[in-house]
Structures are given as C-alpha cells and as structure tokens.
Amino acid sequence: MLISSLLVAISRSLLVRAFIVICNTKPYEFSPNSEMGRVINSYSLKPFSAAKR
C-alpha cells in the first residue's frame, strides 16, 4: 500500500513538472512551420485553457 501511494505521488510530481515546463515554454519559440512546433503548441495550449476554466 505504501509503495503504490509513493509511486502515485512521484508520478504526479513528474506530471506537474512536465506541465510547468510546457506552460513556461512560449509557443513562438518553436517554428510554426515545423511539425514538432505544431504538435508542441497544440499540446501546450490545450491543458492551459482547460486549467484556466
């Protein structure tokens, strides 16, 4: 029980850290013409708009 709750806490903190990195990364830092930039922009804006509501 203790180990599973610890794993959940670690995975949550990692998710939060990844979210912070994505949200701090400005969309215009990526080239909108590149496929990677498009993917990162769409993913970085979606969780943000959902969290603000």
The three-point CA angle 52-14-22 to 5° equals: 45
Q: What percent of the chain has pLDDT over 90?
A: 0
Average pLDDT over the chain, rounded to an integer: 70
Span 15-25, mean pLDDT? Answer: 77
- Domain parsing of the chain, residue ranges: 27-53
Span 21-44, mean pLDDT? Answer: 62
What's this model's pTM, rounded to 2 decimal places? 0.38
Pick the closest to residue 40 from 9, 53, 48, 16 (CA basis): 48
Maximum CA pair distance of the chain? 48
Long-range contacts, 42-48 (Cβ 8 Å, 24+): 47/19, 47/22, 47/23, 48/23
Q: Which amino acid is at 30?
A: F
Span 22-28, mean pLDDT? Answer: 65
